[in-house]
Amino acid sequence: MLIASFSSSAVCVSALLRGTAQFPQAGALIVSFLVLLTLFLQLRIADEFKDAKEDARFRPERPVPRGLISLKELAITGVIVALFQAALVLSYDPPLMLMLTVVWVYMALMTAEFFVPAWLKSRLFLYMASHMLIMPLIDLLATACDWLVQGVSIPAGLAWFLVISFLNGMIIELGRKTWAPSMERPGVESYSSVWGLPLALSLWGLALVASMVCALTIAYKIDFLAVAGPLFVALLLMSCVTGLSLWRHKTVKAAARLEQISGLWVFCIYLFLGLVPMMVKSWM
């Protein structure tokens, strides 16, 4: 559902920013969703290769160390998925293939840790930021299912949406790996273990605020601020309460809620910047 909200809203916000309230064609929504869904599958597969040694040593309960699936099987799956993506994109709109290739290349560089794994892993914020940069690239590909297919240039204001995708990626990443002290494990890095819980939560909160500022800007540009604005503010307040709960109580339940509110934030931001305003405007 999160990927569906991301992909559909990317197509819709592109259309809204270029001044049309006509609901996007089903083909654009379907291609965007299937390509993004399979790209995130490939990202998970890439993680299995990237973290294979650490998983074998510190996380033996995971599927690859347990022998439930092999790296070879995952590699074959990734190739099959890439062929499916290429066939889908080429059959829908061949120029999209160039943008898909850019995403593949960046994904490959991420998997290789940009050929400086030790240097990058010793700088955790830079490591996270370099990996989150794939989100705007994926987002640009999704929005191109609208503007590129329609034969127009990138809509003015779309940069704000690309920045949101970067920030929302950080929110999800920080939210799922900022833990209560009892959850920390030897050999397994979390943002709370490396930076400390207060700093990890503070960075998570800053990403939320920055994401909201960008979201309010887009909501203003598409004339949906009166509806989306109060919702985003309420979500921010809920998120702050959740973060403070983990800061104060440091429980596993509070950490789980932090991950859940991070997903809810991203889901709602995308939904109320793209799909919902497009539905409202196209029906008016």
Q: Write the CB contacts of 20 (distance below 8 Å, at least 6 apart in sequence).
A: none
* Cα–Cα distance measured from residue 12 to residue 20, given in angstroms and rounded to the nearest whole number: 9
pLDDT at residue 283 tops 90: no
Q: What's the pTM?
A: 0.94
All structural domains of the chain, each given as residue ranges with its CATH number in brackets, are 2-283 (1.10.600)
Mean confidence (pLDDT) of the chain = 95
Q: What is the pLDDT of residues 214-236, one digit of tens each?
A: 999 999 999 999 999 999 999 99
Average confidence (pLDDT) over 244-253: 96
Percent of the chain with pLDDT over 70: 100
Q: Residue 53's pLDDT is what?
A: 87
**What single-letter amino acid sits at 120?**
L
What stretches of the chain show up as alpha helix (H) in DSSP?
A: 2-17, 26-50, 52-58, 63-66, 71-92, 96-111, 117-121, 124-132, 134-147, 158-176, 191-195, 197-221, 225-249, 252-270, 276-283
Whether 55 shows a pLDDT value over 90: the answer reads no
Residue 246's pLDDT is what?
97
Segment 145-179, tens digit of pLDDT = 999 999 999 999 999 999 999 999 999 999 999 99
Does 74 score more than 90 pLDDT? yes
- R_g of the chain computed on alpha carbons: 19
pLDDT for the residue 21? 86
143 pLDDT tier (thresholds 50, 70, 90): very high
Structure confidence at residue 168 (pLDDT):
97
Give me the mean pLDDT over the 56-64 stretch.
89
The band of 23, judged by pLDDT with boundaries at 50, 70 and 90, is very high
Average pLDDT over residues 44-61: 90
| pLDDT above 90: residue 54 | no
Has residue 284 got a pLDDT over 90?
no
- pLDDT tens for each residue of 94-126: 999 999 999 999 999 999 999 999 999 899 999
Residue 109: its H or E element: helix 96-111
> What kind and span of H or E run contains 116?
none
> Could you write out the DSSP letters of every residue in 3-64?
HHHHHHHHHHHHHHHTT--SPPPHHHHHHHHHHHHHHHHHHHHHHHHHTHHHHHHH-TTSHH
Tell which residue, 268, 218, 215, has the closest CA to residue 239.
268
Backbone angles phi, psi at 18, to 5 degrees: -95, 10
Residue 241 CB neighbours (<10 A): 11
Calculate the alpha carbon distances from 177 to 16, 19, 50, 193, 247 in Å. Answer: 34, 39, 17, 9, 14
Q: What is the pLDDT of residue 49?
A: 92
